[in-house]
Amino acid sequence: MLRRALARYPNTAACLGMALGLLILGWIEIVQPGGFDFSDITGGLVTLDTMVRIGILSIVLVGLNLLMGYAGQISLGQAAFYGMGAYASAILTARYSLLGIPVAIAQSWWWPWLAILFGMIAAGGLAYLIGRPILNLRGHYLAMATLGLGIMFYILFRENLGVPGDHITGAFDGITAVPRLRIGGFDLWPISRYYFVVWTVALICLTLALNIVNSRTGRALRAIHGSERASQAAGVDIAHHKVQALVVSAVFASLAGSLYAHFQAAVSPKPFDFAGSLELVVMSAVGGMASIWGAPFGVGVILILKEVLRSGLRQVLRGASGEHEIVFYGVLLVVIMVFMPEGILVWTSAQLKELRGRRAVLPPGLERSP
């Protein structure tokens, strides 16, 4: 009975499975039953810290996959929206006196949540405003326009939003003393609590995105990707749907940025530069652009890969430096993309399917084999 229900709703089943896995993982990390510690056996690779980072970036990636993998619109400036959320939260909660916000409000538990909401509205609003002109561009031109957007925001963060001095964004040093989140009197910190907060939000975003994909809007997005002319002939308002996808991706990115700011308790411009945007695209491609489920996998693989290279390369290759890391990182990316052009998740599920010789219970849209 349960099995049949799960087979009928593969997305729900996968969501529940993932939630269960995360719950167990978190519990083991926190309680360390019998002295068992992931951090120890993986040489400090899988820690709650890493898991929180994966969760936060998964939120960005879910939105980005919706935009790039489903609607087929390239964004090389997604870190701009990510940064907007981070800076909105940081400025509103740590530099509130600048804006003349009374201490009583700024210190209340709900203020940071309001700041998160504000960041999301601002990012969504910006995406809506620039969406129509920017999404009318195609291919390289769209890539260039989003690239420009990303660089512009990086410079704004770095140069104090264009205002003389460095009292708003703190220039290169950024903003410190961003408070932790809490609900009422309940602190969502230490990290063992924040882990569950971040992943709850991530799973909610994932579910929302899956719902969108399997709907009229999602079909319209995929149709646009398949053939713009034919989707217009079916009555699909292309511009409207593209803008919607961009707005959703911006809102998700901003939300993730806010969670990041409260996680680090500080923000600086570096993660939101062009390299940051590019890394998001790489994660998207590695996980599988055209699958919402690819998001957490893409992030996980890239973050852990970088960590392995940082800590492991020196043991294998004596005198290896940061430059070597980059070279190996590049080579591995090429290998992944050559052998798994549709991303790790799609590739793995295809292998599993072949292995079992029958249809694996996988989310719809993942059955696509190359």
Partner 1 sequence: MSSHRSQAQETARPLLRVEQLSKSFGGLMAVNRLSFEVEQGQVVGLVGPNGAGKTTVFNLISGYYAPSGGEIYLDGVALAGLEPFRIAALGVARTFQSLQVFGNMTALENIMVGRHLHSRAGLLAAALRLPSMRREEMRVRQDARRYLERAGLSDRADELACNLSFGEQRRLEICRALAAEPRLLLLDEPGAGLTQEEKVRLAELILQIQQDGVTVLLVEHDVDLVMGLVDRVLVLEYGELLAAGTPEEVQRHPKVIEAYLGTQWDAATLDAPTPAAGPKGG
Shortest Cβ 299–partner 1 spacing (Å): 22
* Backbone torsion region of residue 220, taken as left when φ is above 0, otherwise alpha when ψ lies between -120 and 50, otherwise beta: alpha
Nearest residue (CB) to partner 1, 107 versus 211: 211
Burial 148-168 (b: 16+ CB within 10 A, else e): ebbbebbebbbbeeeeeeeeb
From the CB of 241, what's the least distance to partner 1, in Å?
Answer: 9
Determine how many CB atoms are found less than 10 A away from the CB of residue 136: 13
Query: Which residue, 51 or 206, is less far from partner 1 as judged by CB?
Result: 206
Q: Which is nearer to partner 1, 174 or 365 (CB)?
A: 365
Q: Distance between CA 177 and CA 262 in Å, rounded?
A: 9
Is 132 a residue that touches partner 1 (CB under 8 A)? no
Q: Verify binding: residue 229, partner 1, rule CB under 8 A.
A: yes
Extract the tokens encoding 361: 């219970």
CB nearer to partner 1: give 71 or 147.
Answer: 71
Site membership for partner 1, residue 219 (CB under 8 A) = yes
Of the candidate spans 54-62, 189-197, 227-235, 262-270, the one that interacts with partner 1 by CB under 8 A turns out to be: 227-235
C-alpha to C-alpha distances, 327 to 45, 151, 156, 271, 330, nearest whole angstrom: 21, 25, 31, 20, 5
Of 8 and 216, which has the nearer Cβ to partner 1?
A: 216
Question: What radius of gyration, in Å, describes the C-alpha atoms of the chain?
Answer: 21
Record the tokens describing residue 176, joined without a space: 């410190």
**Which run of H or E residues covers position 165?**
none
306 touching partner 1, by CB under 8 A: no
Return the residue of 8, 140, 270, 368 that touches partner 1, per CB under 8 A: 368
Residues 6 or more apart whose CB falls under 8 angstroms from that of 49 comprise 191
222 binds partner 1 (CB under 8 A): yes
Helix axis angle, 48-65 relative to 294-316, nearest 10°? 130
Interaction residues for partner 1, span 248-287 (CB under 8 A): 248
| Min separation Cβ 333 and partner 1, Å | 24
Instruction: Return the structure tokens found at 214.
Output: 């399997």
List binders of partner 1 among 193-212 (CB under 8 A). 208-209, 211-212
Which CB atom, from 219 or from 306, has the smaller least distance to partner 1?
A: 219
- Nearest 5°: the CA angle 146, 151, 152 is 95
Q: Residue 238 interacts with partner 1 (CB under 8 A)?
A: yes
Does 232 bind partner 1 (CB under 8 A)? Our answer is yes
Tell the smallest beta-carbon distance from residue 222 to partner 1 (Å): 6
Interface positions with partner 1 (CB under 8 A): 208-209, 211-212, 215-220, 222-223, 225-227, 229-238, 244, 248, 290, 368
